[in-house]
Each structure stands twice: as structure tokens, then as C-alpha cells.
Structure 1
Amino acid sequence: MYWLRDTALAHGAKLTVSSNGEFMEFVEDFGDQELIKSYLDAGFNWGTHIHPLWRRDRHDWVLETPDVSEEIVRRIWQDNTNAVNSIIGSENNYGVAPYQCAQPLLVKLMNEFGFTIETALTEPAGILAYENFGHYPWNPFHPSPEAGKFLKECLNQTQYILIPHYPQLEPNPGPSGPRSLGTNQKYFIMEYIEWLHWQRNNLPAKVWVFGIATHDCYNNPNRIYIETMLSWLDENFIGKKIPTGEVIAEYATATQIAEEFLQWEAEHPGMSSFSWEEGQPYPYTYSDMPRLLKNAEYDCIIDISETISCYKFKKDNSSSTFVLWSWGEEQIINFSSQISGKVRVYDGKGNESLANSSNLKVGKEPMFVEDGNPPTIFIQRPKGHLYIFGRDIFPTIFGNTIIIGDITVNVNATDNENGIEKIEFYVDDELKEIIREEPYEWLWDEKIAWKHKIKVVAYDKAGNTADDEEEVVIFNIIGKEKSIEV
């Protein structure tokens, strides 16, 4: 906790801290009340982390299941809040992670305890957001009291607002997706791209939020990631302005965000900040962006010119996706230092085209660029010879391919940009085998006779494809059927 405080102060970052009741008992045990005071003196927030634990005695907290009675739920809230209040001696205006509380009861208890802010997303809400958006919501909102409507806004619910932020920054994934440094950097840039759309098009102002979390028990092994994230934000975004003068991002506590949000609401009566429920379309502009950047992590900034921004993302299959835009008029650039030959260009809204990387048009709208060069593939064997039980006997007079018995189909496939993802083997357009590593070969051994067509399809790691075919005459009366594993 000392390291976290000092690191935040060094970067000018704002901390919004929450703790459960027993944590505060340990604070007393170790005489660390002054540590808590130093957080508050620095202008940081401190609230209640409402884990499903109620207090039987000092350091004797009982863990409950999520389906307990309302009476027990209320005691959980009361015991944790009392313990926090006994140490901080100041306003305790928000609750975090009330897993054990259904939505209608949540509104009721937020009212009873005077909580006006919920930070983070409960696990069901986080999973719902990740599975449908590929990221968390980018705006605070008033959560609906309707059961199961975790991401729906209800403007009549005025007791509290939800300020979304991502879970623990760490290399390990969680139920609501990856949590790595590169993933969180990607999430920030995705939100930055959406925010820029609103600025370019003079859309109504909104409050935009991005946050990451750490737990005291996971702090130490993840310090390098936290430090790197803050340094990266400082260097590229915090306090920095876009050419039209708007500041990209500033650090803020939950209370500061809530105050700004309430001011925004007063200026935009009846306007929803964010709302989504299952069955509705993607709630932001670039509906294809989550798919294009799925399983990708931020890699680096590509320095092209002062008037063009370019970010590189690496996917877990080693392929790359670049996001570019111009700060001025449309420009033509040579992008062949990153991808040579053809590139596939996406607008993030479902449209795509092919372009030449040495003559790439970059406009004000973001463009997502990937390798557009297909791999090369050709069937090495069988090819124009007579084969008997796999043995190459001699070339045929007219170059026909004749096979007696089984045969191993050998394929040569290469891709200079991203590498080969997989090779599919077909007979008469029926998929027979998938090979993902060299050597790219398949033993064709089935009961079959007369004329047939072998087809092979290569996929590179950017999704480009190429194929080759060979017409053969085959006689194999003792072969075996084989099922494939996709």
C-alpha cells in the first residue's frame, strides 16, 4: 500500500481505494492508521469493498454464499461499512463488488447506506460486456434495478451511478477476458478511437472513463505492469492535447468523475450516457473494431509523421493489425516498411478493401490495416506420376497422376509476412484433414476408385487464403475411413 501510494503520487495519478472490514482490522493491528490518513490527505478516495463476509468477532469473518437472506446481506454491508468508517473518519460514498446482492436489493441498500457510486462491474456484468463488446463500457451510467439487466441504464434510478473499470492488471486472464498490460493498453486505445470520433463530428459531450485495478495481495508481482501502464499513459495521453486543442485524458478519483457526470446530466436532461441489453447492436461507432482486435495486444506506436497516428497490435497467432488515421486531410503514404505488397483495409464498420501498401490512403477516420498478401501453396506429391502404395514408380506419358493404394499428399506452403496458420486437405470438396505444423502432409488411405480431385487450402495468420488442386485417378480397395479433428 505504501508503494502504491508513492507510485500514484509520482505519476500524479488518482487512487480510488476500497477495502473490506477485516482489512481495516489488520490496519489497526499493524498501527497503519496514518497510512490510510495519508491516502485521504493526498485527495484519494476510500470506500467499502462489500465482499460476502459478515463479522462474528475480530478476525472472525464468516463467508456467505450469494443467495443468503436480505437480513444477512444487510449485515454484510453494515459490518464492512462500520469497519471502514471506524478508520477513515471521512465520507464513505461508494461500494465495490456487491456480489451477494441482486439488483433490486442493491438499489435499496445503496440508498440505506448513502452510497452514490459503485465502481467496477460485478462479474456477471463484466462477462456480459466482454462477450458482447470485447471490452467494458466507456461511460458511467445509472444501472437499472431490473434483474439481469446489468448494462441497461435507468434514468429514474437516481441513487447511484456505476463507474466501470477493468479488473486486476496481471498476465493471467479472468472470467471477463484477458487482463494483461498489452490488453489494457489496447482497451485504452479503442476508447480513445471512439472518443476521437465524437470530437471530430462535434457530437454531444459525454463523460468517458477508463480505469484499472490492483489488489493489495496481487500488487507486488504486478508492479512492473502497473508502473509501465502509468508511464505509457503519461507519455502519450495524460494532459496531452489533440490538434484541435482537446485534452485527451486526465487522472481522476471516482468522486471527481461522479461530480463531473452529475454536472453533465444537469446539462443534458433525459439523455442516456450508456445503455445496452441483450439483443441490441454494439453501442459504439466501430462495431467491427472488437473483432479486428480480438486476441490482440498493444505492441507499439509506429512513427510515420506528425500528422499521422499509427498503433501496432500483435495477435496471439503472431499476426499484426495496425490502426492509422490522419490529423488533417487525406494523405498517401508508403507503408511497405510494415507490410509489403497488398494490405487489407477495414473501416471498423464492416467494410473492407485491398490496397497497395506503397500507395496507402490515410484519412481522418481510423483504418485497420492487415496483411493482404495470400500465402503460396502447391501440391508437391502426387503430381504427374504413377504411385503404387506410396512409391513413386515413374512419370506418366501425358502427365496424368495415377495412384494405386494409399498415398501421402505432400504440400509446400509459405507466407513471408505472418506465417502459416493451417492447411486443409480436401477430396472432391470434402474436408479430410487439417494440419497446423510442418511437415504439411496427409496420408490418404480410404476405399476409393476412379477420378477424384485433391484440393489443399492454406490459411496464413492474417486470415488470407490460397489453394491448389490436382486431378488424380486412384484405385484403393483396402483403405480405411478416418474422421478428422477440427
Structure 2
Amino acid sequence: MDVKIFLIALLFVAILVTATLILTGYFKKCMHGNEKQGGLSEKEKDKTKEHTTNQQKNETKTFQEILPTGVVSIKSNKIEFKAYIDVPENWNKKCVILVHGLGRSHEVWIKDGTVKDLKKNGYCVLLFDLPLHGERGKMKTLEQLAYIILQGSKDIVNAANYLKEHGAKEVYIISRSLGSIVTSVALGNGATIDKAELLLAGANLTYLYEYGAITSNPKAKSEMGKWINTPLVKEIDPLYKLPKYTGQVHFHCGKKDNVIPPKACQYAFDAATSASERKLFWHDRGHSMPKDEYIDEALDFFGAPLPSVSENMTVKNPVYPTPSSPEPGEPPIFILFVLHIEPKLVHGEMDMSSRQTLTEYNNVKNELLWLMNFADKENVKMTGLFNGWYMQLALRQNDLSHLSTFLSKGHEIGTHAHNICYNSTSDKWYVCPSNPDQWFRDAKIAVDKVLSAVGKGSNRAMCAMFPRGQYQNECSLMSKYGYDIGVGNRPEIAINFFDHIVWNPWRPKCINDYDHSLEEDFNTPFVSIDHRAQIGSSTSHGVDSTVKTLKRQFLMVFLEWKVREVYDFEDKIWTWGVVHHPNYGSRYNNDIEQFFKWLNRYFINVKTPKGKIIAVYSTASQIADVYHKWERKHPGRSSFSYVNSDPYPYLTEFAKNKLSNSIYQTEVQYSPNIVLFILTENSGKKLIVVWNKNGTNIKIDFSSYFTGVTKVNVCRPWGACYTRPVDKIYVGDLPLLVEEP
């Protein structure tokens, strides 16, 4: 074993020694022909530019026509080498080049399952043998190692060009040990590689000369000493090549590596000063890097393929379809807390002069005062929608100060119109289901009088209780009475269709057709904002809105929002809301406190690594105003539209289905930046939703949460899943769903 370690160390030193000797002219006879040394020639750089043009010309072709699966021959510095390309059926137009280490061949990536994992996630792979490795011969003398580095780096440059001119939109690379040295040279010499995953990398040959494994080998150190202090070392040292690379690069290094000491890896990381992103991951290992140590992080780094819009979303507006180009700057999720001040009818009437009505008024007022105090502490915004009876009594008693304070604190007052009308002769509110015009009129008059009396507020928001699916008159009435916001005016319809509320403001069609009640109509004069039923109740409106259900329901919209934020996929306006009825008094106050404190702790004003805020509290008018700006920015673009039996209208149906069929249990603060949201699926399996809010990929050991298993299923929100060791799950900016197998 000692002899084997010695030989490996000796070969590594020989790489560095021989490379410099070649550059000084010692081993020209060992080189194949009279190839140029160092970086790319001007001719090669011009050819690289041509590849970009050729790629653009090829974009109209299918990948089967332009990128073959099988063995191809690639020209590189007057030499042809064989490469093995494997294109999966679900190709995402991204390819990964795999570069092996010293004494190995391309087959190592097949045997350890790396190729399988990459293909499963939609990546094509390109494998090749480094010069004098595998099918390209055998290294006979140490002089040939420099040829391996120099020719190998050119091979990488030309392999990347080949992929891009044959349809790959992005090219990534994974390399190990000697392969990482070769790759570093290629990156510095202009290889068109977008992201690089360098395993067991190192830089600063002078440091390696003094402190690396060669210090125990006098012969090797003597050979290295002939050139280590000459200017020529700059041609082969990653320390001088990596600063030229402007793409994204991640380094994985061993804390116990005695071949490439940890400090040499740190030098490599520090050298990548021009990289648009650079990260360094330390592993408690020597000079080895098994697949399970890095593959999860690599997949997250490369970004698993998003489902295409054409396959997973129904574009309702063909004039202005969902854009294919990125749109950075996803707005936050606007959280709407709605209050419904309901009438309390006795035998279909509410007598405004009765003691019972006055008692009801005082009970509602006390709850409003509690809510304002709660909102002050938790910074929550409320939209209060009042039936006319409450406003009438407030005016009659000149009891307006609490309503004025409500508005002064940034909350909003609007109208809630049940199917009741006011009879001024009898001074009673009564049920009048066939006269919606009077519902609107009587409720609006009372609310407008209060707003006029307090001298503030604008009555823009209306929730009218039409029979579900019977909305033919809604547009004309909303327009007639000046309402431009419909709040919760399509109650539970979306929940019945796909198990959650609509996550975007939109203009719904006014039609007497339940199946088309969520269909978009740009001519509708108001904006609709959906929300869930009574917070804390398991039966209100026939749905469950208990706190545990609200938590998993909010996780649904968060996962959808986060995927779009990570990938800059089409900015939209996002909303999520819930209602409370002050008529219930304090029955649900504990639920209100519990849920909104949960939101505040994990989502409200929390920033992503891109600096985007996840969620904020807003009133209905604030949401509508933001939506109107979005409409002006994107004229004619669909915000949301759905007809019963359409495909699911969002990207993350997989996550939605998982959460719909689960029960929320608890959350665990794993670290300051990582929270585990723990659920139990209906099947009994444990499910954990997790992400790292600072964006760094962190390895987490889930063993204590999944007892008795060695591997778990790890899924991205849209359903790209793979099996990983339970103690080695990399968690980063993109949320993951981790479940028992």
C-alpha cells in the first residue's frame, strides 16, 4: 500500500515537472508534431467565435439531427480523438463533459453511475480519454505527462465547441485530480464552458514544491527544482490560468489530501477571481472523491431541467404567450388577510333597533380592536369588508374612531354584500336573493357614508355572495358601483378544481357557467384576488383551513414562486390570502396568532440569495395597484386562466400533489439558514420540504429524521427525483422534497 501511494504521488509530481520541461523545449521530440504551446492561437480563438454563430443557425433543428448518440471524432490541434456522446430522450439542451484522473479512462464515469445520474436529469454527456490514457495509448515516460496536460486542455476546448455547434445551449464539466489540472488550463485558455465542477483541484506549484507529497521524494523534488522558479511556470499553473475564467466554478477538495494539500485547493479557489460564481466545498477525505460526495451538489449547481411551458402550462393568450427568455425580479408573494363583517339574521331579518343587534355590534367591535392590536405587533395588513348594518350603527352612535384608526394604521375598508337588502321603513335588513343590484347599493351606501365621515379611505373592494357559478351580472354591477377589486368572489372554485386557491390576481369571466368561472377575460372591469375560508376552521365553506392545512397550502405557493425566482422564469404577481369573521369573536384568535407568527418567522420580508423578498403583507388595493402596473408592463399577457379539465395551470404540480396528500406536522430550525418543514404523507411516509436561504449548498445528514433507512428520495418541486444516501443530501437555493423510499 505504501508503494502504491508513493507511485501516485510521484506521478502527480511528474505532471508538473514534465509540463514545464516541455514548455522549455526539453521534450519536443515526445510531442506529437510541432503543436503550439500555452493558450489558444488567434486562429483557434476565431474558430471558437464561429461556433457561436453556427449554434444560432442550428437552433431550428431537432437535437436528434444535430447531436448524435455514439462515438464521434473531434479534431483538436491537428489530432483527432474519439469522444463518446450519450443524449437522453428528455434532453434539456445542456451537456456535461467528464474528465478522468491519472491512470484512468472515460469508463470510470460509467462504472460509478455518474453518467446514469446526469442522463436521468436530462443532461447529455461527453466522455473521452485523456491523451495516452485508455484507448489513446499508454504513458511510457514521465516526459509525456506535459503532453497530456497541453493536448488534453485543447481537447476540452474543442469538445466544448463541438457540443455548442451541434445544439447544446450550455456546456458544463466535471473533472477529477489530473483532469482538474487539465480543465483549469482549458478554462484559462478560453474553453466555452459555462459551469465547472473541479474535484481535487489545486494551484500554486511553488507551494506544492515546498509542502506537497513530493517533499518526501528527493528525485522528484530535484527534477521540479530545475524550473519551479522560472517564469515558465505561469504557463501550466492553475494559479495563473484560473483568473481568466469568467464562468461559474465550484471546487471540491479533501481536508486530509496529502497529494494536493488543502491549502493548494484554497489557492485554486482564490485564483478564480473573475468567475461569476465560485464556491468551495471541503470534504473529510484524502485524495479521493466518490460520486456520492459531490453529485447532489453538482446537480443543484447545474440546475435540473425545468418542464417546458408547452408541455406543462396552458397558455391562454396566444397573442402574448409566456416568454421563453428569462425575466429576473420575481415580485414577492402578497399576503392578504381579509375580514368579513357578517350580518346576524334571525328568521331572515336583522332588526337594527334590537338589543341583539347592538350586542352583535359590540362583539364585532371588540374583536376588531383585538385584531388591530394583533396587527400592530405582527405588522399584518388587513382588508376589512363590511356589510352595511355595522356601518349604519357606527354612524348612528357616532362611534367612528376605531374605524378611523383602522384606516390610519394602513388597513383597508371595503364592502361585503350578502344577499340582503335594507328596508328603511322597518329599519331592517332582510334576505333578497333575487335582487343583487340592491345588495350592492345598500351595502355601498352605508360604507361610503362612514368613509366620508372619517375623511379617509376609498371603497374599491367588494365581495358579493353570488351563487357559485352564477356570475353573469357581476361585471355590470361592479362597474356600476365603482368597484375595481373583487376579493374572494370565486370562493372555493379553484380548491374544487385543483386543491388550492388561485395564486395570481386575474380578470375572471362574468358568466353563468361553473366550469368557466375561473376563465380569464381581459374585458372584465375588476381584478379578482382569491383567498381561503375562515382561518382555524375545518368546516367553513366546506373546506379545511386549520393552521396545519394553511401551512402546507402556503408551502405550495412558496415552492412554485421559488422555482420561478431561482430560474428567472416569467415574473407574475403572486397572492395568497385567508379570511376571518370577527362575528366569531375570539374563537379563532389563537389560530390567527399561530399562523401569522409562522409566516413572519420563515417568509415575511425574508430575502433570497438574489435579494428578492419572499412575502409581504398587503391590502387588496395595494395588490390591485401592483397588478395594474404589471398589466401595463405586459399588455395582453395572461395572468391566470383555467377551465375545468384544463391541464394544471402551474409548474410545480408534483409538489402540489405531494403536499395535498400530506399532513403538516412541525418545523425544525436545522441551522440559522435552513428550516425543515416536516409532513406525513397519507401513505404514512415522512416528507420534508427544505431549502437554504443563503443559497450555499450544504450537506445535511437526514438520518435522525428518517430512521431505519440508508437512502431517501430527493425531488425537485416539478418532479425530477433521484435516490441518495440519507446522510449526504446537498441543500441549496432550490427547495427540495425529501421523502422515505
Structure 1 residue aligned with 2:725 = 356
Contact 2:501–2:531 (Cα < 8 Å) also in 1:
yes
Classify 1:165/1:331 alpha carbon distance in 2 versus 1 (closer, same or farther; 3 Å): same
1:105 aligns with 2:468: no
Aligned 8 A contact 1:130 1:176 in 2: no
- State whether residues 183 and 296 of structure 1, in contact with CA within 8 Å, keep that contact through their aligned partners in structure 2: no
What does residue 416 of structure 2 align with?
49
Q: Please tell me whether the aligned partners of residues 22 and 59 of structure 1 are also in contact (alpha carbons under 8 angstroms).
A: no
2:430 is aligned to 62
Shift of 1:44: 1.5
Give the gaps of 5 or more residues in structure 1.
373-486
Distance in 2, matches of 1:84 and 1:316, equals 46
Are 1:141 and 2:506 an aligned pair?
A: yes
Rounded to whole Å, the distance in 1 between the matches of 2:679 and 2:735 is 14
User: What corresponds to 1:88 in structure 2?
Assistant: 451
1:112 deviation in Å?
A: 0.3
**Cα drift, residue 257 of structure 1:** 0.8
| 1:88-237 equivalences in 2 (<5 Å) | 88-89=451-452, 90-100=457-467, 102-123=470-491, 126=492, 128-148=493-513, 149-157=516-524, 159-175=525-541, 177-237=543-603
Distance of 2:563 and 2:449 partners within structure 1: 46
Q: Which amino acid aligns with 2:482?
A: G
Structure 2 unmatched ranges of 5 or more: 1-367
Deviations 1:244-286 (A, max 9, x none): 1111111111111111110111111111111111121111111
Deviation at 1:237, TM superposition (A): 1.8
Counterpart residue type for residue 110 of structure 1: M
208-217 or 354-363, larger mean C-alpha shift: 354-363
Distance 1:362 1:239 in 2: 22
Matches within 5 A, 1:86-485: 86-89=449-452, 90-100=457-467, 102-123=470-491, 126=492, 128-148=493-513, 149-157=516-524, 159-175=525-541, 177-305=543-671, 308-314=674-680, 319-326=685-692, 328=695, 331-340=698-707, 341=709, 342-362=711-731, 364-372=733-741
Give the number of the structure whose residues are more often helix, by fraction.
Answer: 2
Deviation at residue 321 of structure 1 after TM alignment: 1.5
Using the alignment, how far apart are the partners of 1:175 and 1:73 within structure 2?
21
Q: Could you tell me which amino acid in structure 1 is paired with residue 594 of structure 2?
A: T
Deviation at 1:30, TM superposition (A): 5.1
Residue 129 of structure 1: CA displacement?
Answer: 1.3
SS at match of 1:339: coil
Query: Contact conserved, 2:609 with 2:733, CA < 8 A, in 1?
Result: no
**Cα distance change of structure 1 residues 99 and 348 upon mapping to structure 2, 3 Å threshold:** same
Which residue matches 2:156?
none
The farther-off stretch of 204-213 and 55-64 is 55-64
CA contact (8 A) 1:120 1:167 kept: no
Distance in 1 separating the partners of 2:632 and 2:386: 31
**Equivalent pair of 1:143/1:151 in contact (CA under 8 Å):** yes
Matching residue of 2:406: 39
Cα displacement (A) at 1:363? 5.6
8 Å Cα contact 2:714-2:721 kept in structure 1: yes
Partners of 1:197 and 1:119 lie apart in 2 by 27
Given the superposition, is the C-alpha separation of residues 329 and 239 from structure 1 closer, same or farther in structure 2, using an over 3 Å criterion? Answer: closer
Separation in structure 1 between the aligned mates of residue 732 and residue 410 of structure 2, nearest angstrom: 42
Deviation of 1:23 (Å)? 2.1
Q: TM-score, normalised by structure 1?
A: 0.69
Indicate the structure whose relative CO is greater, using CA pairs within 8 Å and at least 6 residues apart.
2
Query: Which structure shows the bigger proportion of residues in strand conformation?
Result: 1
The amino acid that maps onto 1:230 is F
**C-alpha distance 296-64 of structure 1, shift in aligned 2 (>3 A):** farther
Other-structure match for 1:79:
442
Given that 1:165 and 1:212 are in contact with CA atoms closer than 8 Å, whether structure 2 keeps it comes out as yes
- Tell me if structure 2 keeps the 8 A contact 1:11–1:231: yes
Match in the other structure for 1:451: none
Deviations 1:41-68 (A, max 9, x none): 2222111101000111365111133xx2
Is contact 2:712-2:726 (8 Å) kept? Answer: yes
CA apart distance, 1:319 = 4.8
1:5 to 1:305, Cα distance in 2 relative to 1, 3 A: closer
Q: Contact between 1:49 and 1:80, CA under 8 Å: does it hold in 2?
A: yes
Out of 393, 398, 405, the position equivalent to 1:26 is: 393
Q: Partner letter of residue 261 of structure 1?
A: Y
C-alpha deviation, 1:371, in angstroms: 2.1
Worse-matched range after superposition: 268-277 or 20-29: 20-29
User: Residues 246 and 99 of structure 1: is their aligned pair in 2 closer, same or farther, counting only changes over 3 Å?
Assistant: same
Identify the range of structure 1 (49-58 vs 327-336) with the bigger mean alpha-carbon deviation. 327-336
Please state how far the C-alpha of 1:290 moved relative to its aligned partner.
2.4
CA positional deviation for 1:297: 4.1
The structure number with the bigger radius of gyration is 2
In structure 2, what residue type is equivalent to 1:256? Q
The answer on whether the counterparts of 2:536 and 2:591 sit within 8 Å (CA) in structure 1 is yes
Q: Is the CA contact (8 Å cut-off) linking 2:465 and 2:489 kept in structure 1?
A: no
- Checking the alignment, whether the CA contact within 8 Å between 2:556 and 2:659 is kept in structure 1 is no
Distance 1:273 1:256 in 2: 17
Residue-pair matches, total: 363
Matches of 1:306 and 1:26 in 2, distance apart? 50
Structure 1 residue 103: deviation in Å?
A: 2.1
C-alpha deviation, 1:132, in angstroms: 2.8
Q: Which moved more, 1:147-156 or 1:217-226?
A: 147-156
Would the alpha carbon gap of residues 220 and 29 (structure 1) be closer, same or farther in structure 2, given more than 3 Å must change?
A: farther
Report the CA distance shift for 1:119/1:25 in structure 2 as closer, same or farther (over 3 A).
same
- Secondary structure, aligned partner of 1:209: strand
**CA distance, structure 2, for counterparts of residue 343 and residue 175 of structure 1:** 38
Q: SS at 1:103's partner residue?
A: coil
- 1:98–1:171: structure 2 CA closer, same or farther, 3 Å change rule? closer
**Offset at 1:216?**
1.1
Identity of aligned residues (%): 27
CA shift digits 1:447-471 (9 cap, x unpaired): xxxxxxxxxxxxxxxxxxxxxxxxx
Q: Deviation of residue 310 (structure 1)?
A: 2.8
Cα separation, partners in 2 of 1:328 and 1:18, compared to 1, 3 Å: closer
Shift of 1:302: 2.8
Partner Cα separation in structure 1 for residue 391 and residue 674 of structure 2: 50
CA RMSD of aligned residues (A): 2.4
Relative distance call for 1:219 and 1:357 in structure 2 (3 A) is farther
Q: Cα distance, 1:322 vs. partner?
A: 0.7
Q: Secondary structure at the match of 1:300?
A: strand
Q: 1:60-92 CA distances to partner (integer Å, 9 max, x unpaired)?
A: 111133xx2xxx221121111111112222421
- Separation in 1, partners of 2:612, 2:727: 33
Q: Say if 1:235 and 1:308 are closer, same or farther in 2 by CA, change over 3 A.
A: closer
Name the CA distance, whole Å, in 1 between partners of 2:586 and 2:628: 36
Q: Distance in 2 between matches of 1:22 and 1:297?
A: 40
Quote how far apart the aligned CAs of 1:293 are: 1.2
- CA gap of 1:237–1:361, structure 2 versus 1, over 3 A, is closer
Q: What amino acid maps onto 2:439 in structure 1? A: I
Cα offsets for 1:361-418 (capped at 9, x unmatched): 546543322222xxxxxxxxxxxxxxxxxxxxxxxxxxxxxxxxxxxxxxxxxxxxxx
Report the secondary structure of 1:302's partner residue.
strand
Separation in 1 of the partners of 2:582 and 2:616? Answer: 24
**Residue identity matched to 2:606:** K
